[in-house]
Structure 1
């Protein structure tokens, strides 16, 4: 798993749906130490944006898996930097690239591995199925209200029909508006194990469904808002993954989503 915020819950929820759909049995690892002990296994590494110089978890995990002759499959990811790691990968490695800059980068620095151009897994989420599944979670509505009130000083009624600013903080931030802003990926950070992932994904979707418009530079707040059909104004994050994924995966299929501002990636898209 790729531990993180509610955006990672959204990815994880979609991933578990795909595992169920294709009858894939998985054993969930929870530490690098467990990975170090694996030998001759097929290991799926969760999708996301962890394989960039800002973070070290995914690169450390890949290095831990390499000595065990494991088949490594990196689910749709953004990749920047990490040139030495890419060059060290065994030919049996597969990296699914969730945008064009990643695909070009991996092809340039790991030409012997399998590099597939794909899409962020959260875009495959069956939202109807998720909502149906969550009907049996008697606590979810109360939990949604409690987390909103405790972490954002908001109620669901305060969101309903309102334009909401949901710009990110942290190392990937670009700017924080002076107006009230709610980094809801942190507000609904709950975990990525199956039950936690479904809850975090549901809360992210429910927030965006209630709002009349979402402005964000959080990729998965934008994805949740896109899936909810809410009018969405996307801005880029610090290294360009948001604009890259918008151009590759969202621009044509989500008319409710538009991109604003500068594209931060060092690539020009026709």
Structure 2
């Protein structure tokens, strides 16, 4: 919702009907409340409650759109097409895909592994047309498919791993988005996905996430 707020403000001012596809919504009360000619889909129950009770707008509940992807329709890229960092990381068959942006949880007691690859960044393509989006989706799925075990706080890396049947350990982001979507869409549907609220919670029961020699500040 952070990146979409300005666009939504412009769309509302245009007076045209607005449909918000499954989204996590926190804050932006005035913007959501002013949406008189539109329909809102939320991808977690917390967002639905927020929109309905705080913003005074009806909201429908739906799974994230990524769950509708048919992974069998995308031809896989060859290893030569993938970024060097992904090829190098795939040698261990274990992916560490942790975000480095403002949604990342504070890392007070652990550091990113040196072979961390934020696939949500590396798989991006230039272009906003349908063909570019299809290429980006194929590249993203192909990169995730190179790994057997995935540790991530990136929602769509976790979803892609689940759809591909990989073993996924999913962690929360900084405001509970991942936890809420896990409860609605992953917990009962994908046995291959485990969820932990933080890396610290994981390490309390499973031990170190990775060897100390792999740490990269």
Task: Verify same fold: TM over 0.5.
Answer: yes
SS of aligned partner of 1:253: coil
State whether residues 82 and 143 of structure 2, in contact with CA within 8 Å, keep that contact through their aligned partners in structure 1.
no
Match of 1:186 among 113, 121, 125: 121
Q: Following superposition of structure 1 onto structure 2, how do residues 1-270 of structure 1 map, counting pairs within 5 Å?
A: 51=1, 55=2, 57-90=3-36, 92-111=37-56, 113-129=57-73, 131=74, 134=75, 140-141=77-78, 145-149=80-84, 152=85, 154-155=86-87, 159=90, 162-174=93-105, 175=107, 176-191=111-126, 192-262=128-198
Q: Which moved more, 1:203-212 or 1:216-225?
A: 203-212
State whether residues 44 and 62 of structure 2, in contact with CA within 8 Å, keep that contact through their aligned partners in structure 1.
yes
Q: Which moved more, 1:252-261 or 1:175-184?
A: 175-184
Q: CA RMSD in A?
A: 2.1
SS of aligned partner of 2:112: coil
Distance 2:55 2:14 in 1: 20
State whether residues 217 and 242 of structure 1, in contact with CA within 8 Å, keep that contact through their aligned partners in structure 2.
yes
| Cα distance, 1:179 vs structure 2 | 4.5
The number of equivalent residue pairs is: 194
Q: Which moved more, 1:203-212 or 1:119-128?
A: 203-212
Unaligned regions of 5+ residues in structure 1, if any? 1-50, 264-270
State whether residues 86 and 109 of structure 1, in contact with CA within 8 Å, keep that contact through their aligned partners in structure 2.
no
- TM-score by length of structure 2 reads 0.81
Sort the Cα spacing of 1:261 and 1:60 in 2 relative to 1 into closer, same or farther, 3 A.
Answer: closer
- TM-score by length of structure 1 reads 0.66
Q: Which has the higher contact order (CA 8 A, sep 6+)?
A: 1
Q: Which stretches of structure 1, 4 residues or longer, exceed 3 Å deviation after superposition?
A: 144-147
State whether residues 209 and 225 of structure 1, in contact with CA within 8 Å, keep that contact through their aligned partners in structure 2.
yes
Sort the Cα spacing of 1:261 and 1:59 in 2 relative to 1 into closer, same or farther, 3 A.
Answer: closer
